Amino acid sequence: MVTIANPPVELRGPRIPDSCAVERALSVVGAKWTLVVLHYLMDGPKRFSDLQRLIPAASPKMLTVRLRDLEQLGLLTRTFHAEVPPRVVYQLTPQGRSLGPIIASIQKWGRRLRAAKRAS
């Protein structure tokens, strides 16, 4: 049996019913590192090396897979600049930017969670 670690969206199991908006949203942003990548891109365009530095726990391969998924979903654009050395810049689309308030809420909740853990 062959298992694909990060299958393309079209191979990720049964289609989610339109009636469950939470499941549908999580199928887009629920993959590991997705929200972290989107969070850092909220500040503006970033090169791959910038994202690697900001997210050291994500392997280059995983980061590449996640960026490709997000581009395919229309949440970011990838711009290749034919220079020496080549430069690739990632930037959020308006659809990707629309996740800003959600990511800010998760960030705020994460800060409260960290404070609660320290207090206990």
Q: What is the value of pTM for the model shown?
A: 0.78
User: Helices in the chain by DSSP H: which ranges?
Assistant: 21-29, 34-41, 48-54, 60-72, 94-97, 100-119
Look at residue 57 in the predicted model and tell me its pLDDT.
96
Own/partner long-range contacts of 93-100 (Cβ < 8 Å, ≥24 apart) = 96/38, 96/41, 96/70, 97/42, 99/29, 99/38, 99/75, 100/42
Residues 80-116: tens digit of each pLDDT: 999 998 899 999 999 999 999 999 999 999 998 877 7
* CATH number 1.10.10.10 given to 17-119: yes
> Angle at the Cα of 88 (from 8 to 56), degrees rounded to 5?
70
Residues 35-45: tens digit of each pLDDT: 999 999 999 99
Domain locations in the chain?
17-119
Burial of 91 (0-12, 13-18, 19+ CB in 10 A): middle
Residues 61-74: tens digit of each pLDDT: 999 999 999 999 99
